[in-house]
Amino acid sequence: MNTLAVTSTGTFWTGDEFDHWRREYEKRRGSLQQCGTRWAHENIQSVGRKEEGRFKLMLHRISNELIAEARENGCTVIAFEDLTDIRDRSGASWGHKWAFDCLYEYVEYKAEEHGITVEQVDPENTSRRCSHCGFTHPDNRNGEEFECLK
Ligand SMILES: [Zn+2]
């Protein structure tokens, strides 16, 4: 949940930077809200635009790194777990859901330029399935550690 993205080739992008900036912007909005003037209200909106801009930059960077990794590994398909109801299942915040949708969109159009297909797959077993031999077992995974039992 504190990981924004993980690839089957073993790279993690943590959500730490994302969460850090969300808290920062939240604080700024909070103190402006207390101020309550019209000037403060307009500033809250500009903080929102800055926040969105920063997050989009971050997600662009991650999507570029994802594509680079796919190309290095000769991948022709990038499969995303379909996390449509991630929020209900894991209690992930709205921000995470937004970040995921955004990241998916960026990867999808950038991958196309490199002839890589992007699709969504059922997340049910992807975290337990070995990407090399296909062996699927809950004990393959211990938190963020993955070791195929076969
Ligand atoms: Zn295996």
Cα-to-centroid distance, 53 and ligand 1 (Å): 40
- Residue 28 confidence (pLDDT) above 70: yes
Euclidean distance between CA atoms 34 and 26, whole angstroms? 13
Locate the domains of the chain by residue range: 3-146
Residues within 5 A (CB) of ion ligand 1: 130, 132-133, 135, 148, 150
Phi, psi of 22 (to 5 degrees): -60, -40
Give, for 35, the enclosing helix (H) or strand (E): helix 16-35
CA of 135 to the centre of ligand 1 (A): 5
How much distance in Å is there from the Cα of 117 to the middle of ligand 1?
A: 24
Ligand 1 mean position, distance from CA 147 (Å): 8
Task: Give residue 142 CA to ligand 1 midpoint distance, Å.
Answer: 15
For residue 10, the CA-to-ligand 1 centroid distance in Å is: 14
**Rounded distance, CA 62 to CA 140, Å?**
27
Conformation bin of residue 115: beta by default, left when phi > 0, alpha when psi is -120 to 50: left
CA 148–ligand 1 middle distance (angstroms): 5
Q: What is the pLDDT of residues 88-142, one digit of tens each?
A: 555 556 566 778 888 999 999 999 999 999 988 776 677 788 878 888 888 888 8
- In this prediction, residue 18 carries a pLDDT of 81
Which residues in the chain belong to E strands, given as ranges? 3-6, 12-14, 77-81, 117-121, 141-142, 145-146
DSSP tag of 138: G
Q: How far apart are CA 30 and CA 25, in angstroms?
A: 8
Rounded percentage of the chain residues whose pLDDT exceeds 70? 87
140 CA to middle of ligand 1, Å? 9
Q: Across the chain, what does the average pLDDT equal?
A: 84
pTM of the complete model: 0.72
